[in-house]
Structures are given as C-alpha cells and as structure tokens.
Chain A
Amino acid sequence: MGFGMARKVAGKIGAGSCIALALAASLALAQERAPESTPPSEAPPLSPACEAPAGDIAAPASLPHFAKALRERKTASILAIGSSSTSGVGATSDAKSYPAQLEAILEGALKGVDVVVANRGVSGEVAAVTAERIKSEVAREKPDLLLWQLGTNDALVRIAPDEFENTVSSTIRWLKANEIDVVLVGLQYSSRFSRDEEYFAIRNVLQRVATAENVAYVRRYDAMRFIAQNHANLQMMARDNFHLNDLGYQCMAEHIARAVIVGVFAKRRPSGN
C-alpha cells in the first residue's frame, strides 16, 4: 500500500550538523536540570536567517516516547499533521515542505538513527477535523511523536476559543493515553492579523493548553514576527504574502527540530506523563 509511505528527501545536512555540534552542550545541560518552560540556554544553533531568541522559538517539554523509540529501536516515526503549512503550500517542491526538511535535520543531528516523517497536512483544515483524522492516522501509523500544526484556520473561520481549547486538550489527552508525544506548532505570523482579536484569542488558548497539558509548543508567531522585524531583507513568504516560501519552511523546520531535540534529551519532569 503505497499511500502509507512517508515522503523521503535528502538535503539540509548543513543545518543538521550545526545542531548536532551543539547537542553535547544541550545534553549536558539537560542532565543537570529538567527544563522549565524555557529551553536550555545553550540550544542548538540555527542558520543565520532563522535566528530568533530561544523564548520566541519554542517552549519545549520532554518527549519520552519518541526518545525511547530512538534509544531502543534506533528508529522512530513522526506524524506531521495540520494544514497548509504542513502540506507545504508555497514551497517549490514537496522536498521543501517543513516535514521533509525536518526529517533531514533530525537524521543529521541524531546520528545513527532512522527518523521517518509522514506528512498529513490538509490545507485550510480546522483543528476539529484534524482531530478526527488523528484518530485514524494514529491507529494506522502508530507514530511515536505527533507534530500538530494548528490554529491559523480556526482563527480565520472564527471557531469559538473555548471550543477550540476543548478540541485541542481532549485530543492531547487521548494521544497521551496512547503513549504518543505531542508537539504543538502554533499560528503563523501575518501583519494582517497582528491586531485581530480572534487570532490573539486562539494563540492564547494554544499557549495555555500547552502549559496545562505539559506538551511542547513551537511559538511560530513570535519567531516569525521576530524574523520579519529583524531580518526585513529576508523574504520568508511566498508570493501570496501569506504562505511560507522555501526559506520560511526551512526556518520552521529548524525551529521545530530544536524543540524536538531538546525534548529528546530533556529529563522527565516529576509530574511528567
């Protein structure tokens, strides 16, 4: 059944080995203390274009099941689910979508392991529909880690924030019960919605849920805004000025890779799942 195959790609080794170099440092740090809501100060370096303050990139949390799979099987599967930013709208090819780039970065950084990233992005999808797909995808693919990119469409179609919160937290609890780690990947930044109340409310919900459920949260909005404001000369957006371009997806992949790698080496928190 060919449809279950993940997109395999090569490339992006450069960024990967950069991260690998810094792994020893972050490993030593992680062993000293469990990470709090902020990542270790010595985080894997990013390519210059994707630089952003650590706090703007992600709030990592430990990924015990993914780490265990890597440790015991030397292979782990990741399910990347979400909407257009996952499927890769705006990228010049499938190989430039963030899940494909992430696979290369992780395999470069975590030497000697096989990471398979399956892309299950459906553009324009709201979280409630993705949540339904998660159930059947999980039953079929049995991933160790689920990367859930969400929120932008829920904000745009005006889903009530409490309804969104309910969908996300109940799905996270279901995933935890199934021993699957979760990384939430937040809303994207767009100057058009920087003052939109609904957009703001959905963003708050994600942050709150990630903290309450103790799951990693990639703060895409903050990182993208930082880059947009500080590297104004770098074009991260596709021609429609809403989707990312290849460079935008590279930064997204690097930021998510960072949250994943920190999560792998982070000790479990006492209250951990």
Chain B
Amino acid sequence: MREPNEIDFWRGFALVTIFVNHIPGIFFERFTFRNVAISDSAELFVFLAGWALRKLVDGPAKPLSARYLILRLEGRAFTVYLAQLVIAQLAVALLAGASLLLDAPFLLDWNNASAIFSDPVRANLGLVLLTFQLGYFDILPLYVVLMLVSPLIALSYRHARALLLPASLALWAYALAFGVNFPTWPVEGAWFFDPLAWQLVFVLGFLLAGEDGIGGLVRRYRKPLWWAALPIVLLGAVAARTEFDPSPIALPEPKLFFVFDKTFLSPARLLSNLAIVAVFAGAFHAIARGLPRLADFLSALGRNSLNVFCAGSLLSLAGQIFRFAYSGDVVSDAFIVMFGIAAMGATAWASEWRERLRAKSARAPA
C-alpha cells in the first residue's frame, strides 16, 4: 500500500467532489470548486488518470515488452469496462427497486434510464456497447475508450515521443472544428464526454507527469508558471461567480473553440484545469502537515479510485432517491454527504483489506 501522496490525494478529492456534484440540488454542491472555476472535477479526474498511466508506464510496466504492455493496459480497459457494466446494472436495479418501494414509476426515467424499461431489446444492447449511457454514469465509458487506446499512447511515448502531443492536439482540434463526437444509441444523441476531445486532457496528464519534455519544462519554470496561472484561476472564479459565458453568435467559427463547452472540452475549460493544477501543485505537502488525517483519508480514496468511483456513483444515485423520498433539506443533505463519504472510505478500506489478505495467503504455504 502506497504512502499518502499528492496524486492519490487529489484523485480522492476529485472523487468526493464528483459524488457531491452528481446529486443535483444538494445543499453542499455550492461548496464544490466548480462554483469558483469554469472546469470541474471531471477534467481533474481524467487529467490525474493520465498522470497515473504515466506512473505505471515509467514504473511497474517499464520493463514490459510492447506485447505485455498492450496486454496489461487492455486488461485494465477490460476491468474498467466490467466496472461500468456492473454499476450501470446496479443503477438500473436501484431505480427499479426504488420505483416499486416508493410506488413512483417516474423514477424509472431518472438518469436517462427509461429506455431500459420501455425499449429493453435495444437499450440492453446499447448498455453493453456503451452507446447507451445513464446520466452521471458517463465518465467510465470515456475512461474505457481512453484505456483502450492507452497502448497507443504508451508506445508512441516509447518510440515516437515527439509525435504524441501534436497528434493528440490535432485530434482534439479536429473534434472541436467539426463537432465530431461518438453517437449514442438507441436514445438519439451524442456522448456527454466526447472521447476525441477529452483524450487531450488525459494525454496532457500523461506528459506532464514525466520529468522530460513539457513535464520537464513546467518543472523548470514552476514559479513563473504559478504566477501566470494565478490570474487565470482568479479570472475563472470571476467568470463562474458572475456566470459569464461567451455567446457563440459573437464568436468566429468554429465556435466550439470559444464557448465554455464541457462535452467537447473547450480551450477555456482545459486552460482552467491546467491553471488549477499549476496553482495547487505542491499544496499537498502543506495539507499533509496541517491536516494529516484528511490527507490520509483522501489518499486512501485515490489509491482505490476505480472501486471508490463505482461506490460513489451508486451512492450519488441513492442520494438522489433519498432526496426525493425525504424532500431534501440541509439536515438530510448533510446526512447524505456524511454517509456517502464514510461509505466511500469503507470501500477503500475493504479494497485494501482484501488485497492484504490476498497477499498474505499468497505468502502462506499451500
């Protein structure tokens, strides 16, 4: 088990934020950082996932041949895919159970679930193909796609390092210029997180995690970058507080470059995310000194990010149902948040306990 560290800590922070942000209307949403920024925890989560991939590729996976590296990364993609299937199915069951228990058929609509019940033949197929995504259960499908192509990222990093960033930027620019996104089916529409655009923040996380290339560059100019990023973060806070949002009509084509769009990861959101990272990088050490228990707790969540993410997604949905049943007020919202964060902590603890148990039994003679 790793010691608490910066990446795990911020991953844990992103996980808690996502949990709260996915309960619409909850009182405590106002304390999450998207209220003072034009990006949110989704960008942070994907950025840190790219960062973690680099740590894997430079660390435990470094000695692996290309073939084993591909196998390892595709295995991870498969694990994430299974996780998505399991939580989507559990979410459907949660809605179905709640609709029976509360005699509330409209619960079957929540989070885009209705096609499962009204058009099960196609919707169940779409669920497995990831072309049918439940609302708020749309980050893991992006993550599956990113992990599916992660061997491409890792191998071009090994063999054609200079190509990685230009290729990623070009793909992102292409997606924004032409509004290209993956379609959804059977419910007509497009993915909430466009993988063609969002791969950029993943690749940037991957590149900035290293000591070479742009990673080295930002490390060398850390102080000036901090001063450059600070006004961007402050400007983002002003934009968020005043609800400033540029009007496409006044903007030149292609407009997706200029609006603050989440689906296509518009430059403003990307810049906001990078500036936040630049400003808060290193803050972990002060936090760990001042609030060691918080640092331990969030790092534990981040170390087990997939399991905790899955638990958090289901807890958010349970929170939504709870708010419906008990007409959410501050007190019940506080209960939801405390229960949810405790359950996410328990998930992390149970995951690590299970790993320790497995390690112990592996050491014991057969």
Contact = CB atoms under 8 A, between A and B. Distances in A.
Contact of B113 (A123, A153, A177): A123
Given A158-B324, A158-B328, A241-B105, A135 B261 contact: yes
B245 A124 contact: no
Contacts of A177: 247, 249-250
A178 B192 CA distance: 22
Interface stretch (A19-27, A81-89, A203-211, A228-236): A81-89
A120 interface: yes
Contacts of A129: 24, 135
A157 interface: yes
A2 to B, nearest CB: 7
Contacts of A160: 25
A198 B25 CA distance: 13
B110 A120 contact: no
Contacts, number: 118
B30 to A, nearest CB: 9
A163 interface: yes
Chain B: interface size category:
35 or more
B320 interface: yes
A139 B255 contact: yes
A154 B324 CA distance: 10
Interface string A124-166: 1110110011011011100000000000111011111001000
A80 B332 CA distance: 35
B272 to A, nearest CB: 15
A159 B243 CA distance: 19
A179 B323 contact: no
B3 interface: no
Nearest to A93: B119
Contacts of A241: 105
A37 interface: no
A10 interface: no
B189 A89 contact: no
B260 A178 contact: no
A200 interface: no
Contact of A140 (B25, B114, B179, B183): B179
A246 B259 CA distance: 38
Interface in B231-267: 243, 245, 247-250, 255-256, 259-264
B106 A156 contact: yes
Given A123-B113, A174-B245, A158 B323 contact: yes
Given A2-B183, A133-B263, A122 B135 contact: yes
A2 B264 CA distance: 18
Contacts of A153: 109-110
B102 to A, nearest CB: 11
A1 B247 CA distance: 25
Interface of B: 24-25, 105-106, 108-115, 118, 135, 179-181, 183-184, 187-190, 192, 243, 245, 247-250, 255-256, 259-264, 320, 323-324, 327-328
12 contacts: A7-B188, A90-B118, A119-B188, A122-B135, A124-B112, A124-B114, A135-B259, A135-B261, A136-B264, A140-B179, A154-B25, A158-B328
